[in-house]
């Protein structure tokens, strides 16, 4: 007996909006009891800028969550609380190791109700944090979207979230479409599966174009220096000033629970994982080049610990969405259906087209990560190299504020008023403190995910095109090339996690190979 095909309604997933809520996010909590939360969130940037946010939040009363009725209200409460929480933690000269009860008590309750971790997640930042400019115009048009909240008040930050919202909306019809395809495959209906795959491939191309629009209004420097730091989590953040994570205080005496969470990241999007699952793409623990391999090429170093980051990110999705993905995995049959029909060229081309579009999407994403994280982090490192070891040492003492500061005054050494960021460069003594994702290289991780997308292609040529094979490495042989230079690895803070990166100081910008 085959497991039933998941019904969207059972998981709170909309057939038209997908993982975005069917009911648009509330712009305000209806009960005036919550006016204080609304007031803080409405003035978040001004409060951060003036350095008054922490004082205001410390004086807030601990509000009860019993006044929250519909799911939309719980979702709004969650968004308000995570913006306040991350503003509180990261919105000062150094990060706060505590969250006062006025935030932590309701945040823990709201998170439990919604089955999300009590930290800024993709759901709270993107899925539940937008409005339409014109309600009679579509959700999947970027020009019809606005954010409800940002940390910085910048267009760049709004755009960063809104590109994701538009992607979710544009991709939403793929969910019922591909559940139909699964049912059709069960019935042996080749024509229906073919039609679904073709539509899927076309939609994926549109999603890819939307992703490419990130560059329109989100500037890499603003993203790296101003936005990203507010999204940081509390896990493996010792160097940033949170050695034990964050204490979620439960009473005025400062008693509470220590928590460590990853930061908010688009890797927590359920839609991309849905694409993978429905096509039968398997993501191995980072470092496993192929199903049979023991680990990544280590170049003489110890292999990175096995860590399936993509799977891990499911813990940061709303519970029902994560359960939906697990259930989809148990019914996914399209890859098998295609493989069982070696003579069906149309079907096989349609399947490979979906993979090609998804692989292309990941290529674009790799370009984005290069432009928005890798290059700015190299620039920060280059700047720190040009400063005296003493200045670098001082800066590392306050990693949470480092790259957001204007250059320190040589006379006073004063920090900027709202410096928040992560300088992730290696300590000047060259020590490599590999952690977070287990010393996993950011680009290797992303490229592995891209390559795993292509490697299940039916046709060899398609497989070759999508899964670029590594070039033969030089061994000091005249024909094979020069001996490899030792490459220094530095830490780089991504969004959800801390990674390592080869420090190719002044290197090129093409990272998609
Ligand atoms: C400025 C824009 C973006 C930056 C800088 C960025 C950066 C990153 C980083 C650093 C990671 C590694 C995991 C982490 O540390 O969180 C990651 C993973 C990921 N990102 Fe993005 N991202 C951006 C936009 C997006 C958007 C709009 C999407 C939606 C399509 C997306 C989807 C993903 C996915 C699905 C992963 C997991 C890896 C994979 O499945 O290939 N990202 N991103």
Q: Per-residue pLDDT tens for 233-273?
A: 999 999 899 999 999 999 999 999 999 999 999 999 999 99
Q: Which of ligand 1's atoms lies nearest the C-alpha of 283?
A: 40
The answer to whether the CB of 71 falls within 8 A of the CB of 12 is yes
Residue 365 assigned to a binding site: yes
Burial 26-65, CB ≥16 within 10 A → b, else e: beebeeeebebbeebbeebbebbeeeebbebbeebeebeb
**What is the pLDDT averaged over residues 205-216?**
98
Does residue 507 carry a pLDDT above 60?
no
The answer to whether the CB of 283 falls within 8 A of the CB of 311 is yes
C-alpha of residue 269 to centroid of ligand 1, in Å: 9
Any atom of ligand 1 within 6 Å of the Cβ of 415:
no
The pLDDT of residue 508 is: 30
Measuring CA to CA, how many Å separate 21 from each of 25, 72, 337, 413? Answer: 7, 8, 32, 47
pLDDT band at 193 (very low <50, low <70, confident <90, very high): very high
The pLDDT of residue 469 is: 54
Protein residue with least CA distance to atom 32, ligand 1: 266
210, 495, 498, best to mutate for ligand 1 pocket (most atoms within 8 Å of CB)? 495
pLDDT band at 194 (very low <50, low <70, confident <90, very high): very high
The pLDDT of residue 149 is: 98
The pLDDT of residue 465 is: 81
C-alpha of residue 449 to centroid of ligand 1, in Å: 11
List, for residues 311-367, the tens digit of each pLDDT value.
999 999 999 999 999 999 999 999 999 999 999 999 999 999 999 999 999 999 999
pLDDT band at 489 (very low <50, low <70, confident <90, very high): confident
Q: Which of ligand 1's atoms lies nearest the C-alpha of 313?
A: 37
pLDDT band at 18 (very low <50, low <70, confident <90, very high): very high
140, 261, 283, 365, best to mutate for ligand 1 pocket (most atoms within 8 Å of CB)? 365
The pLDDT of residue 411 is: 34
The CATH label, of 1.10.3720.10, 1.20.58.1320, 3.30.465.10, 3.40.50.980, for the domain at 15-128+232-263 is: 1.20.58.1320
Element (H, E) at 489: strand 489-493
Q: Which of ligand 1's atoms lies nearest the C-alpha of 310?
A: 37
Does residue 294 carry a pLDDT above 60?
no
pLDDT band at 137 (very low <50, low <70, confident <90, very high): very high
Poorest-confidence range of 23-27, 99-103, 116-120, 487-491? 487-491
Any atom of ligand 1 within 6 Å of the Cβ of 76:
no
Q: What are the beta bridge partners of residue 65?
A: none
Protein residue with least CA distance to atom 12, ligand 1: 494
- Terminal Cα distance for the chain, rounded: 44
Q: Alpha-carbon distance 181 to 218, whole Å?
A: 36
The pLDDT of residue 1 is: 87
Any atom of ligand 1 within 6 Å of the Cβ of 449:
yes
291 vs 212: which has the higher pLDDT:
212
Q: Do domains 15-128+232-263 and 171-216+265-284+308-387+434-468 have the same CATH topology?
A: yes
The pLDDT of residue 298 is: 42
Q: Any idea which fold 171-216+265-284+308-387+434-468 has?
A: Methane Monooxygenase Hydroxylase; Chain G, domain 1 (1.20.58)
Does residue 293 carry a pLDDT above 50?
no
Protein residue with least CA distance to atom 37, ligand 1: 267
Does residue 112 carry a pLDDT above 70?
yes
C-alpha of residue 368 to centroid of ligand 1, in Å: 8
Any atom of ligand 1 within 6 Å of the Cβ of 362:
yes
Any atom of ligand 1 within 6 Å of the Cβ of 272:
yes
Protein residue with least CA distance to atom 21, ligand 1: 266
Does residue 416 carry a pLDDT above 50?
no
Residue 181 phi, psi (nearest 5): -60, -40
Poorest-confidence range of 33-47, 61-75, 287-301? 287-301
Any atom of ligand 1 within 6 Å of the Cβ of 164:
yes
Any atom of ligand 1 within 6 Å of the Cβ of 371:
no
pLDDT band at 384 (very low <50, low <70, confident <90, very high): confident
Does residue 419 carry a pLDDT above 70?
no
Poorest-confidence range of 62-66, 80-84, 481-485? 481-485
The pLDDT of residue 486 is: 54
Q: Which of ligand 1's atoms lies nearest the C-alpha of 499?
A: 15
Measured in whole angstroms, how far is the alpha carbon of residue 148 from the centre of its chain?
A: 19
Q: Which of ligand 1's atoms lies nearest the C-alpha of 163?
A: 27
C-alpha of residue 175 to centroid of ligand 1, in Å: 20
Q: Strand runs (DSSP E) across 78-203, as ranges?
A: 98-99, 130-132, 145-147
Measuring CA to CA, how many Å separate 427 from each of 93, 384, 497? Answer: 20, 10, 19
Question: What Rg do the C-alpha atoms of the chain give, in angstroms?
Answer: 24
Protein residue with least CA distance to atom 36, ligand 1: 267
The pLDDT of residue 306 is: 62
Instruction: Write the DSSP string, 188-254.
Output: T-HHHHHHHHHHHHHHHHHHHHHHHTHHHH--HHHIIIIIHHHH--STTBTTTTBTT-EEEE-STT-
Half-sphere exposure of residue 341: CA atoms within 13 angstroms, side-chain side? 21
Does residue 188 carry a pLDDT above 60?
yes
Protein residue with least CA distance to atom 35, ligand 1: 267
The answer to whether the CB of 425 falls within 8 A of the CB of 491 is yes
**What is the pLDDT averaged over residues 496-500?**
79
Residue 394 phi, psi (nearest 5): -60, -45
C-alpha of residue 365 to centroid of ligand 1, in Å: 7
Any atom of ligand 1 within 6 Å of the Cβ of 26:
no
Q: Considering only CA atoms, which of 206, 119, 148 is closest in space to residue 25?
A: 148
170, 203, 266, best to mutate for ligand 1 pocket (most atoms within 8 Å of CB)? 266
Percent of the chain with pLDDT over 70: 80
The pLDDT of residue 467 is: 72
Does residue 418 carry a pLDDT above 70?
no
pLDDT band at 392 (very low <50, low <70, confident <90, very high): low
Does residue 182 carry a pLDDT above 90?
yes
Protein residue with least CA distance to atom 42, ligand 1: 266
Any atom of ligand 1 within 6 Å of the Cβ of 372:
yes
What ipTM did this prediction achieve? 0.99
Question: What six digits make up the tokens of 133?
Answer: 């400019």
**Domain locations in the chain?**
15-128+232-263, 171-216+265-284+308-387+434-468
**What is the pLDDT averaged over residues 163-181?**
98
């Amino acid at each position: 007996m085959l497991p039933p095909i998941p019904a969207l309604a059972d998981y709170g997933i909309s057939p038209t909006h997908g993982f975005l809520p069917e009911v648009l996010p509330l712009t305000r909590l209806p009960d005036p009891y919550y006016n204080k939360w609304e007031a803080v969130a409405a003035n978040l940037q001004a409060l951060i800028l003036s350095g008054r946010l922490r004082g205001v939040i410390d004086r807030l009363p601990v509000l009860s969550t019993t006044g929250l009725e519909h799911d939309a209200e719980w979702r709004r409460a969650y968004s308000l609380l995570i913006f306040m929480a991350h503003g509180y933690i990261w919105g000062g000269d150094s990060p706060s190791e505590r969250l006062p009860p006025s935030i932590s008590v309701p945040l823990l309750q709201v998170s439990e109700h919604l089955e999300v971790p009590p930290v800024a997640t993709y759901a709270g930042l993107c899925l539940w944090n937008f409005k339409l400019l014109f309600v009679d115009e579509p959700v999947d048009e970027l020009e019809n979207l606005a954010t409800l909240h940002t940390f910085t008040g910048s267009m760049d930050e709004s755009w960063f979230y809104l590109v994701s919202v538009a992607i979710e909306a544009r991709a939403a019809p793929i969910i019922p479409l591909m559940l139909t395809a699964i049912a059709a495959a069960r019935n042996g209906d080749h024509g229906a599966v073919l039609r679904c795959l073709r539509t899927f491939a076309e939609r994926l191309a549109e999603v890819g174009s939307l992703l490419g629009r990130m560059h329109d209004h989100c500037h890499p420097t603003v993203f790296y220096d101003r936005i990203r730091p507010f999204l940081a989590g509390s896990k493996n953040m010792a160097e940033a000033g949170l050695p034990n994570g964050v204490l979620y205080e439960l009473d005025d005496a400062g008693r509470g629970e220590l928590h460590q969470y990853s930061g908010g990241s688009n890797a927590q999007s359920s839609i991309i994982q849905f694409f993978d699952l429905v096509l039968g793409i398997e993501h191995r623990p980072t470092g496993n080049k192929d199903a049979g391999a023991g680990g990544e090429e280590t170049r003489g170093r110890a292999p990175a610990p096995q860590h399936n980051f993509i799977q891990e990110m499911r813990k940061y999705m709303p519970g029902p969405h994560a359960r939906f993905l697990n259930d989809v995995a148990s019914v996914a049959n399209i890859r098998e259906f295609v493989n069982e029909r070696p003579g069906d060229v149309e079907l096989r081309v349609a399947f490979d087209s979906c993979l090609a579009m998804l692989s292309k999407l990941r290529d674009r994403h790799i370009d984005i990560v290069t432009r928005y994280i890798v290059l700015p982090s190299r620039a920060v490192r280059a700047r720190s190299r040009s400063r005296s070891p003493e200045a670098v040492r001082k800066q590392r003492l306050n990693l949470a504020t480092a790259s957001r500061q204007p250059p320190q005054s040589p006379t006073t050494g004063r920090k900027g008023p709202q410096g928040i960021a992560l300088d992730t460069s290696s300590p000047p003594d060259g020590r490599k403190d590999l952690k977070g994702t287990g010393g996993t290289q950011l680009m290797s991780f992303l490229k592995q995910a891209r390559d795993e997308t292509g490697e299940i292609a039916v046709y060899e040529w398609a497989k070759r095109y999508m899964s670029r094979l590594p070039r033969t490495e030089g061994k000091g042989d005249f024909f094979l090339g020069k001996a490899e230079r030792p490459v220094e690895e530095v830490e780089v803070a991504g969004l959800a996690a801390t990674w390592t990166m080869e420090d190719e100081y002044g290197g090129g910008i093409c990272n998609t190979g």
